Structure 1
């Protein structure tokens, strides 16, 4: 449950669990399951901090850091449409991984959707870290540096897919609107 404390990196805890799996101190499935749950509980804490304290704080003090109420409204609309994807893809971006939970909470994203996407994203991450820790054995500490070189490009790839999806969706919406306007004019 060390992952419940969002500031203890998975890069440390999960490879260590993999090392324990290699020694027979725990099962692989148990380590992945527990690691994924821990990887959900930490973001949930930050989600609730954002949900309970973030919006009032930003409404009161946001003007000092150039955040307007209109920006919060646009953020809410964005999260209503794309919050699941944001919660999922943010887990693959170093640095964003921890912080993405706060805006999800501030936007009052559905907690069940947030939890589902976060858990689904944590499963492969946890699996890979535990597996590598298991395979590297006593050298489990090097997993973080090995995996970090792949996580950022993978995260960028996911974000690019989302941008392409949004552009295609917008383009098809424009086509649908133009067809509708032509029918109305006749």
Structure 2
């Protein structure tokens, strides 16, 4: 499988598959000399920002008043049309954002599903667009750099591993490892933050 810089941006914007799946592949291609490591990260961050901005804009357009009206209209697990999430889940994300602010944005960039939802309360809270872009760019750049470097460092071993397990198993194990490390790191961070 080959991937280009434009392909990375497009996958980040429209793919239902999380970047934890295809960004390590782009890092592996950088190790082979087919792509440049820095350009891979820059394209991934650009695509990420394009994909998350509509969520932030939706939160800004909704505002606090619209937020409360929307919550009153929907209950339980009903999905909120354009957000495709339940009010209960959105309230949880909103509470987490109110408690941790920009730090919540940084941490959420490493969690599939949560990264887009966290943009909604950032918009609702009236966080300035440049501040939002700074936090999301920083968090996204760190996480996407880790994923890219993981693929890069696997280098020739990427093919060796896939020869033993098959590409699907390799990808699954890589994703499970990355997710497990991310969850562990986030829990550790939140525990330390809570004890301060």
Q: Same fold (TM over 0.5)?
A: yes
Tell me, in whole angstroms, the C-alpha distance in 1 between the residues paired with 2:29 and 2:65: 44
Question: How many residues are treated as equivalent by the alignment?
Answer: 157
Distance 1:26 1:39, change over 3 A: same
Question: 1:122 offset after TM fit, Å?
Answer: 1.5
Task: Report what 1:36 is aligned to.
Answer: 45
Question: 1:147 offset after TM fit, Å?
Answer: 0.5
Contact 1:83-1:114 at 8 Å conserved across structures: no
After superposition, the C-alpha distances for 1:17-75 in whole angstroms (9 at most, x for unaligned) are 112213321111111222222223322221112222465653333114388xxx9xxx6
Task: Report what 2:175 is aligned to.
Answer: 144
Alignment partner of 1:8: what SS? coil
Question: 1:96 offset after TM fit, Å?
Answer: 2.0
Gaps of 5+ in 2: 1-8, 77-86, 163-169
Tell me, in whole angstroms, the C-alpha distance in 2 between the residues paired with 1:16 and 1:111: 32
Contact 2:26-2:151 at 8 Å conserved across structures: yes
Matched, 1:5 2:14: yes
Q: Please, which of 127, 135, 158 is the counterpart of residue 189 of structure 2?
A: 158
Alignment partner of 2:127: what SS? coil
Task: Report what 1:170 is aligned to.
Answer: none
129-138 vs 99-108, which moves further: 129-138
Structure with bigger RCO (C-alpha 8 Å, 6+ apart): 1
Tell me, in whole angstroms, the C-alpha distance in 2 between the residues paired with 1:7 and 1:101: 18
Tell me, in whole angstroms, the C-alpha distance in 2 between the residues paired with 1:19 and 1:126: 13
Gaps of 5+ in 1: 166-186
Distance 1:103 1:96, change over 3 A: same
Task: Report what 2:109 is aligned to.
Answer: 91
Tell me, in whole angstroms, the C-alpha distance in 2 between the residues paired with 1:29 and 1:133: 13
Alignment partner of 2:34: what SS? coil
